[in-house]
Amino acid sequence: MTGTPTHCPYCALQCGMTLHKADAGTDAGAVRIEPRDDVPANRGGLCQKGWTAAELLTVPDRLTAPMMRCDRGAPLEPCTWDEALDRVTSEAARLRALHGADSVAVFGGGGLTNEKAYQLGKFARLALGTSQIDYNGRFCMSSAAAASGRAFGMDRGLPGPVTDLAASGAVLLAGGNPAETMPPFMRHLAQMRDAGGALIVVDPRRTATARQADLHLQPVPGTDIALANGLLHLALAEGLADEDYIAARTTGFDAVRTVANAYWPDRVERITGVPVPAMREAVRLLARAGRAHVLTARGAEQHARGTDMVGVFINLALVLGLPGREGSGYGCLTGQGNGQGGREHGQKADQLPGYRKIDDPAARAHVAAVWGVDPEVLPGPGRSAHELLSALGTAGGPRALLLFGSNPVVSAPRAAQVEERLDALDLLVVADFVPSETARRADVVLPTAQWAEESGTMTNLEGRVLRRRRAARPPAGVRTDLEIIGALAERLKAPGEWSTDPETVFGELRRASAGGVADYSGITYARIEAEGGVFWPCPSPDHPGTPRPYLDRFPTPDGRARFVPAEHHGPAEDVDEDHPLYLTTGRVLAQYQSGAQTRRVRALAEAAPGPFVELHPDLAERLGIEDGAEVRVESRRGAVTVRARLTDAIRSDTVFMPFHWAGDGRANLLTNPALDPVSRMPEFKVCAVRVGVSPF
Q: What is the pLDDT of residues 305-348, one digit of tens each?
A: 999 999 999 999 999 999 999 999 999 998 898 999 998 999 99
Residue, of 54 and 31, whose pLDDT is higher: 54
Same structural domain, 213 and 328: yes
User: Which residues, 6 or more positions from 139, have their beta carbon under 8 angstroms from its beta carbon?
Assistant: 302, 385, 386, 411, 412, 413, 681, 682, 684
Q: Structure pTM?
A: 0.96
The three-state secondary structure class of 562 is: strand
> Residue 386: in which H helix or E strand, if any?
helix 385-391
Between the alpha carbon of residue 594 and those of residues 410, 657, 668, the distances in Å are: 6, 13, 10
Same structural domain, 189 and 219: yes
User: Which residues, 6 or more positions from 210, have their beta carbon under 8 angstroms from its beta carbon?
Assistant: 177, 201, 203, 216, 218, 649
> Residue 509: in which H helix or E strand, if any?
helix 502-513
Question: What DSSP string runs through 672-692?
Answer: EEEE-TTT--EETT-EEEEEE
Contacts of 210-213 with CB under 8 Å at 24 or more apart are: 210/177, 210/649, 211/179, 211/649, 212/179, 212/186, 213/173
Same structural domain, 24 and 107: no
Is 80 exceeded by the pLDDT of residue 1?
A: no
Calpha distance 440→443 (Å, rounded): 9
Same structural domain, 148 and 19: no
Does residue 582 contact residue 688 with C-beta atoms inside 8 Å? yes
The per-residue pLDDT for range 448-492, each reduced to its tens digit, is: 999 999 999 999 999 999 999 999 999 999 999 999 999 999 999
Look at residues 332, 348, 368 and tell me which one is the last residue of a structural domain: 332
User: Which residues, 6 or more positions from 606, have their beta carbon under 8 angstroms from its beta carbon?
Assistant: none
Same structural domain, 215 and 248: yes
Helices (H), ranges, 563-676:
602-607, 617-623
Same structural domain, 342 and 328: no
Identity of residue 178: P
Does residue 85 contact residue 487 with C-beta atoms inside 8 Å? yes
User: Which residues, 6 or more positions from 512, have their beta carbon under 8 angstroms from its beta carbon?
Assistant: 118, 345, 352, 353, 354, 366, 367, 370, 371
Calpha distance 184→191 (Å, rounded): 12
In the chain, what percentage of residues exceed pLDDT 70? 99
Local confidence band at 24 (pLDDT 50, 70, 90 cut-offs): low
The per-residue pLDDT for range 2-17, each reduced to its tens digit, is: 699 999 999 999 999 9
Same structural domain, 371 and 284: no
Q: Residue 22: which domain range?
A: 2-58
Given strand 198-202, what is the order of strands in its sheet? 215-217, 198-202, 170-174, 292-296, 329-332
Identity of residue 14: Q
Local confidence band at 30 (pLDDT 50, 70, 90 cut-offs): confident
Same structural domain, 320 and 360: no
Question: Of 29, 8, 6, 30, which is closest to residue 18 (Cα–Cα)?
Answer: 6
User: Which residues, 6 or more positions from 621, have their beta carbon under 8 angstroms from its beta carbon?
Assistant: none
Same structural domain, 114 and 150: no
Q: What is the mean pLDDT of residues 350-377?
A: 97
Local confidence band at 31 (pLDDT 50, 70, 90 cut-offs): confident
Q: What is the mean pLDDT of residues 29-55?
A: 93
> Residue 215: in which H helix or E strand, if any?
strand 215-217
Question: Quick one: CA torsion of 127, 337, 206, 286, rounded to 10 degrees?
Answer: -100
In a domain, 587, yes or no: yes
Given strand 456-459, what is the order of strands in its sheet? 456-459, 464-468, 534-535
Length of the chain: 696
* Residue 176, domain CATH: 3.40.228.10
Question: Of 398, 350, 388, 443, which is closest to residue 84 (Cα–Cα)?
Answer: 443
Calpha distance 306→312 (Å, rounded): 10
**Average model confidence (pLDDT) across the chain:** 96
In a domain, 530, yes or no: no
Does residue 250 contact residue 318 with C-beta atoms inside 8 Å? yes
Calpha distance 27→395 (Å, rounded): 55
Characterize the bridge pairing of strands 682-683 and 672-675. antiparallel
Bridge partners, residue 448, by sequence: 479
Q: Looking only at Cα atoms, what is the longest distance across the chain?
A: 73
Does residue 293 contact residue 330 with C-beta atoms inside 8 Å? yes
* Residue 631, domain CATH: 2.40.40.20
Return phi, psi of residue 632, to 5°: -105, 130
* Residue 32, domain CATH: 2.20.25.90
Strand stretches in 283-426, DSSP E: 292-296, 329-332, 351-352, 356-357, 400-404
In a domain, 102, yes or no: yes
What's the N-to-C CA distance of the chain in angstroms? 58
Print burial letters for 4-41: b (CB count within 10 Å at least 16), e (below 16): bbbbbbbbbbbbbbbbbbeeeeeeeeebebbbbeebbb
Same structural domain, 51 and 157: no
* Residue 376, domain CATH: 3.40.50.740
Q: What is the mean pLDDT of residues 523-528?
A: 98
The per-residue pLDDT for range 147-193, each reduced to its tens digit, is: 999 999 999 999 999 999 999 999 999 999 999 999 999 999 999 99
Does residue 302 contact residue 685 with C-beta atoms inside 8 Å? yes
Return phi, psi of residue 579, to 5°: -130, 85
The per-residue pLDDT for range 198-250, each reduced to its tens digit, is: 999 999 999 999 999 999 999 999 999 999 999 999 999 999 999 999 999 99
Is 90 exceeded by the pLDDT of residue 689?
A: yes
- What is the 3-state secondary structure of 288-316? CCCCEEEEECHHHHCCCCHHHHHHHHHHH
CA angle 380, 385, 391 (to 5 degrees): 85
Calpha distance 598→601 (Å, rounded): 5
In a domain, 549, yes or no: no
Identity of residue 123: F
Same structural domain, 157 and 247: yes
Local confidence band at 28 (pLDDT 50, 70, 90 cut-offs): very low
The neighbour count for residue 561, using CB atoms within 10 Å, is 27
Same structural domain, 171 and 316: yes
Look at residues 304, 332, 360 and tell me which one is the last residue of a structural domain: 332
In a domain, 165, yes or no: yes
Our count of domains for the chain comes to 4
Q: Determine the pLDDT at residue 29.
A: 59
Q: What is the mean pLDDT of residues 618-637?
A: 96
Return phi, psi of residue 687, to 5°: -155, 170
In a domain, 656, yes or no: yes
In a domain, 517, yes or no: no
Look at residues 316, 332, 348 and tell me which one is the last residue of a structural domain: 332
Question: Quick one: CA torsion of 306, 307, 313, 319, rounded to 10 degrees?
Answer: -160
In a domain, 540, yes or no: no
The three-state secondary structure class of 603 is: helix
Q: Determine the pLDDT at residue 140.
A: 87
CA angle 244, 250, 254 (to 5 degrees): 85
